[in-house]
């Protein structure tokens, strides 16, 4: 167990030194959450000025923007860290070391969670001091919203990486597009009922949808529906198991055909 934890810590420490010594990486990590928060924050102020029920409209929109970033940052960061291994021709060397597949996956997820927390901190402060909405005003349910969305982003990120392991760099453009593919379906800025009926079935199959439905009901109607969060947790566990198995199959396939060494070429 000690060796297992040390290897995960070593993977995390490697990425810490990589980011701590690179100003462009730090800027990139903070840039998109801040830009999204500023853009949608000013949009929410417009809603406040033009429409009634403005407090709910503004609070819901800003909270949705911040929570969407949790989901997006986790899966995007997982993809970015994996791509950096490919760009640096390090993927084959990494798996030639004594590091196990499970240790690499857990190390990758750990770094993603830490990086996401750092990236969102400025955006949360902007939301509070520039637009007058504190994410922490959601209270203790926030402690469920964030882990559930992070878990959703986690298994989705594993599927995206599995896509690259299976098809190589030819699927890179698909991987980057996939990071935002689920956003229209999880309905963070509007009710699920707005979607066409066929798309609503897809929406109800995604855990993040239930998190946003619960959050929107809490802000707009002052109602809390824990059953939605339990549904999100159950779906996340099922999808995480499936995604981990697919990830493992893609890794084994790439290892057998030498794809780990050729992917960066």
DSSP for 164-195 reads: HHHHGGGGHHHHHHHTTTTHHHH-SSS-GGGS
Nearest to 171 by CA among 68, 254, 92: 254
- Residues 6 or more apart whose Cβ sits within 8 Å of residue 130: 38, 41
- Residues 6 or more apart whose Cβ sits within 8 Å of residue 152: 71, 206, 207, 208, 211, 232, 236, 239
Residue 137 DSSP class? G
Overall pTM > 0.75: yes
pLDDT (tens digit, 9 = 90+) per residue, 191-242?
A: 898 889 999 999 999 999 999 999 998 987 888 899 999 999 999 999 999 9
Residue 14, pLDDT > 80, answer: no
Task: Give me the half-sphere count of Cα atoms (radius 13 Å) on the Cβ side of residue 25.
Answer: 13
Nearest to 54 by CA among 215, 182, 220: 220
Token pair, residue 52, equals: 């009634």
What pLDDT, on a 0 to 100 scale, did the predictor assign at position 19?
Answer: 66
Token pair, residue 223, equals: 């109602």
d(CA 229, CA 245): 24
What pLDDT, on a 0 to 100 scale, did the predictor assign at position 203?
Answer: 95
pLDDT (tens digit, 9 = 90+) per residue, 145-193?
A: 999 999 999 999 999 999 888 887 777 888 888 888 889 899 888 889 8
d(CA 56, CA 179): 28
pLDDT (tens digit, 9 = 90+) per residue, 20-66?
A: 766 776 777 777 778 877 776 777 666 666 665 544 455 778 888 88
Contact between 244 and 99 under an 8 Å Cβ cutoff? The reply is no
């Amino acid at each position: 167990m000690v060796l297992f934890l040390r290897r995960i810590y070593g993977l995390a420490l490697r990425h810490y030194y990589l980011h701590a010594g690179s100003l462009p990486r730090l800027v990139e990590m903070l840039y998109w959450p801040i830009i999204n928060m500023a853009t949608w924050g000013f949009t929410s102020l417009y809603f406040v000025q033009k429409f009634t029920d403005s407090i709910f409209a503004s609070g819901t929109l800003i909270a949705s923007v911040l929570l969407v970033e949790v989901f997006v940052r986790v899966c995007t960061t997982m993809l970015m860290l994996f791509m950096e291994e490919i760009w640096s021709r390090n993927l084959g060397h990494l798996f030639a070391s004594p590091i196990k597949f499970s240790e690499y996956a857990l190390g990758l997820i750990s770094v993603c969670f830490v990086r996401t927390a750092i990236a969102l901190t400025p955006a949360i402060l902007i939301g509070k001091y520039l637009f007058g909405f504190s994410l922490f005003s959601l209270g203790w349910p926030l402690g469920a919203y964030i882990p559930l969305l992070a878990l959703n982003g986690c298994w989705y990120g594993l599927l995206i990486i599995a896509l690259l392991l299976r098809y190589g760099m030819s699927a890179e453009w698909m991987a980057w597009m996939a990071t935002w593919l689920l956003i229209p379906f999880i309905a963070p800025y509007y009710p699920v009922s707005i979607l066409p009926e066929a798309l609503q079935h897809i929406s109800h199959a995604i855990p993040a949808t239930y998190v946003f439905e619960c959050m929107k009901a809490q802000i707009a109607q002052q109602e809390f529906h824990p059953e939605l969060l339990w549904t999100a947790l159950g779906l996340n566990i099922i999808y995480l198991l499936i995604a981990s198995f697919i990830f493992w199959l893609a890794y084994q396939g790439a290892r057998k055909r030498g794809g780990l060494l050729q992917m960066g070429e």
